[in-house]
Structure 1
Amino acid sequence: MEKSIASSIKKMQKEVKKLQKAGKKVIFTNGCFDLLHLGHINLFEKAKSMGEVLIVAINSDKSLSCLKGPQRPLSWEKDRAKQLLSLKSVDYVVVFDEQTPKEILSELRPDILVKGGDYKLSEIVGREYVKKVCRFPFIKGKSTANLINLIVNRYGYKKM
């Protein structure tokens, strides 16, 4: 298995079926991951420990901007994908355009869906397409919003 950024959801779907047929447990998580931080890395490591293959789906730039506002993304989808793929725990990265991962989960059908602890089970989109859903608690103070606030508070709007 070679780590990669999926060129399409259809190709990722074929790869998931192949992996599952070979007896591999496929884990899935998703998010914007606009500024990578320790909370994300811990989530990926915990997710990967649950199986053999970790797929991280990221919101496209357009999707992220719709979700988080016109000043985002801070890091472009190709950059975010490459950063994530460089992590030991991440095997595949796939970009999706929708606001939620429901469509991609319905197509990929991984074994386990992993989310952060800020979601109630009933709020987790796409849970009906997986065998198991796991939630892991956040690391206090580790979030993209906290990083943005820290930068603004320390530097304001000064040009560097």
Structure 2
Amino acid sequence: MLCGELRRKGRRLVFTNGCFDLLHVGHLRYLEAAAALGDFLVVGVNSDRSVQAIKGSQRPIVPEWARSEMVAGLHCVDCVVVFDTPDPLLLIQRLTPHVLVKGADWPEDRIVGADWVRSHGGRVERIPLVEGFSSTFLIEKILGLTAP
């Protein structure tokens, strides 16, 4: 319903997704850049079970309720949806965004939902990452500092 209302008003829906485990400045800049590509930013946040399937049993560090609340609290984010599948394809198909956004570390041919979005008149954008910032890097750094 929300997507239909946005379309009727001529507003451009942008979608991106991620784990957002240990939110950092790279996430903030990425989401700000994504928001600038349209009028309404929807962020899919991987559920705890989804993160474990992707990253392993030691993740996430931060539970889904806290990760989604922190992402929702960012000024550039309009809506957060937690999804429990390994990838966001069903969510992308449900939303059919005008713009699908992923980090530039994703090869375009591996971006889930890209074909769907393009086939419905949308576009795919890849946003450069902030060097030196990744949740995995930060977690490894913390573990290295606290290891005996």
Residues in 2 aligned to 1:135 and 1:19: alpha-carbon distance in whole angstroms: 23
Alignment of 1:47-126 (within 5 A): 47-126=34-113
1:142 aligns with 2:133: yes
Q: How big is the shift at 1:121?
A: 0.7
Amino acid at match of 1:146: F
Please, what TM-score do these two structures have when normalized by structure 2? 0.94
How many angstroms does 1:20 deviate by? 1.4
Using the TM superposition, give the Cα deviation of residue 58 of structure 1 relative to its aligned residue in structure 2, in angstroms: 0.8
- Displacement of 1:114 in angstroms is 0.6
Runs of 4+ more than 6 Å apart: none
Per the TM alignment, residue 81 of structure 1 is displaced from its structure 2 partner at its CA by 0.8
Measured after TM superposition, the shift of residue 129 of structure 1 is 2.5
- Match for 1:19: what amino acid? L
TM-score, normalised relative to structure 1? 0.87
How far the C-alpha of 1:113 sits from its partner, in A, is 0.5
How far apart in 2 are the matches of 1:125 and 1:119?
Answer: 10
- Deviation for aligned residue 1:73: 1.2
Distance 2:73 2:84 in 1: 22
Alignment of 1:19 with 2:10, yes or no, is no
Count residues with an aligned counterpart: 144
Q: CA deviation at 1:84?
A: 0.5
Structure 2 unaligned residues grouped into runs of 5+? none
> What amino acid maps onto 2:146 in structure 1?
Y
Ranges in structure 1 where 5+ consecutive residues have no aligned partner: 1-13
